[in-house]
Amino acid sequence: MGVVSAILVVLLSVFGAVEVIRKIVFWTLKTENASEFSVVVVPESAEDCEYLVRSAAEKMRWLDFDEPVRLVCVNDKEDPEIDAICQTLSVKYPYLFVSKSFEIAYNERDRVEDT
């Protein structure tokens, strides 16, 4: 049992060290004049939608992006199931928006003009 405990302690120590190094690197490389930006995901089907949105949101969290950020899910097939999935996920991720592919440029332009 002692060997298993030692291996577990070593693994957790390595994960902790990696997390500390990641925080230091991202903190030192962070720009002071970062502006708004959007991350866009385009699911092929409703089955891919939740996975893509959650993975993009997790990557945004892991990279420690400051507000304001937007996660845009492009529903180019106008699938009502994708809209429903994104509506449900927008409770957890309030920065999630759904757009049609042809509308995305106009949505971003209007958002910039409103600020």
3-class secondary-structure state, position 73: strand
Structure tokens at 13: 């120590």
- Distance (Å, rounded) from C-alpha 42 to C-alpha 75? 7
- Distance (Å, rounded) from C-alpha 48 to C-alpha 23? 30
Say what the pLDDT of residue 91 is.
92
Q: From residue 26, how far is each of 19, 32, 40, 64, 112 by CA, in Å?
A: 11, 12, 22, 8, 27
Say what the pLDDT of residue 75 is.
86
Say what the pLDDT of residue 108 is.
57
Taking the domains of the chain in order of start, what are their residue ranges?
A: 1-30, 33-114
pLDDT along the chain (115 residues), means of 10: 88 92 81 71 88 90 74 86 92 88 61 52
This prediction's pTM: 0.64
Say what the pLDDT of residue 97 is.
87
Structure tokens at 106: 């106009």
